[in-house]
Structure 1
């Protein structure tokens, strides 16, 4: 009798362990499904258009199989190729079905590049597209691109994207948040080493500020500019895969 009782207890213990293992497997499976979800943006832009023609920009935002109807940020940024410092940001219209749209027109021939800046589910992505307007690149644009080809920060690795969120205003003596978004092949570039190199136009003294990754592909640091005036800043990006990129920006510091 005692032997039978021990046998029954052993069987019950094995059954309990199997049930727990099954529960862990199901939980791990659920976690795996959660982990593989990605924020994706299908950015639609016509390849060509005429001068002054209305062009629709459309972004369809998904998170896994879910249509994102409540993105925290959805803005389009466009600029003439080779002149990213003079870009234009436009707000999108949320169509409440996972799509976000805006209309824009271009007043002269050229090749224009653009980002669809999207922040949702604590992630940021910025797919990049281009459009040719009219006859395409003007001679002025070609000359500018040729000149910039000898400047640092313009020959970027294929698929690499950098967007510096230039502050609306920078005041001397006050800490300014510096934030840059990085991506590779339309996915956030994570685990990179990012450093801001800052110097005043009239000075040879360079300051270096290391940034921290606050979200996937988003790197931030605080910096206080001591004096008013014109500054330059180079953002350096490296990672363990051999990536080494840098791009220069102009900043104005006021009282």
Structure 2
């Protein structure tokens, strides 16, 4: 009788445990299928001197994400991304993140929001025309792209307080349209301002869809140039340069 009760107890425990594991696996599968969505709202046109509001609604499945890890707006005049400006977003709650900018002169500008949340990254962008837009002598049409690939976006995560002799994490997010750019070949080309002829190449690994990471120990405390090279089997070849101050 005791053996029967013991066997029944063990059987019930196994059933309950299996059911719990099944529910957890189902929950994990459901979360894996969910995508970080970002709806960016920026006026199509405004006047120079006006404060232009930016708004992004961040959702993950049916959830409005109010605890994103990082949300920043990047703004640049078309054709001049090297001089872009980063603006920290304000968390308004209920999945809404806002910022604003005063554009000082006419032109066509790109506004891109970078959102990191739920172990995913999304960075939609749009264009805004200020005043009369770009001039005809060297300006860009409203539909021009900053990169050769249609819809391609790159966002380098600036390392915080890199120190000489210590491994520094180098991370870049790549996106093609609204989806992460997967299976790309990403390399970091690194050189110091004092030795421009001596260059190091570091291969990055795709840690998750669209996220590429490498670690590199900068040998000296000085200023370095870092150029990101991105290629894939479809003929994509893009690059972007950043400056890193190592202490």
- Is the TM value for this pair above 0.5? yes
Could you say which residue in structure 2 is the equivalent of 1:212?
A: 205
Q: Does residue 158 of structure 1 match 2:150?
A: yes
**Alignment RMSD:** 3.1
* C-alpha distance 81-168 of structure 1, shift in aligned 2 (>3 A): farther
2:159 pairs, out of 153, 159, 167, with 167
1:123 pairs, out of 120, 127, 139, with 120
Could you say which residue in structure 1 is the equivalent of 2:170?
A: 178
**In 2, Cα distance between equivalents of 1:141 and 1:227:** 40
Gaps spanning 5+ residues in structure 2: where? 1-18
**In 2, Cα distance between equivalents of 1:169 and 1:83:** 26
Q: Which of 74-83 and 115-124 deviates more?
A: 74-83
* C-alpha distance 39-204 of structure 1, shift in aligned 2 (>3 A): same
Shift of 1:29: 7.2
| TM-score normalised according to structure 2 size | 0.77
Q: Which has the larger radius of gyration?
A: 1
Q: Which of 35-44 and 193-202 deviates more?
A: 193-202
Shift of 1:137: 1.6
Q: Between Structure 1 and Structure 2, which shows a larger proportion of strand residues?
A: 2
Shift of 1:116: 0.9
Could you say which residue in structure 2 is the equivalent of 1:195?
A: 187
Shift of 1:223: 1.7
**In 2, Cα distance between equivalents of 1:253 and 1:93:** 27
Q: Is the 8 A contact 1:41 1:125 kept in 2?
A: yes
Matched length = 225
Q: Does residue 234 of structure 1 match 2:231?
A: no
**In 1, Cα distance between equivalents of 2:158 and 2:174:** 14
Could you say which residue in structure 2 is the equivalent of 1:42?
A: 39
Gaps spanning 5+ residues in structure 1: where? 1-22
Deviations 1:16-72 (A, max 9, x none): xxxxxxx9xx96876654433111000011111100111110101111122112212
Q: Is the 8 A contact 1:49 1:132 kept in 2?
A: yes
Q: Between Structure 1 and Structure 2, which shows a larger proportion of helix residues?
A: 1
Shift of 1:168: 5.3
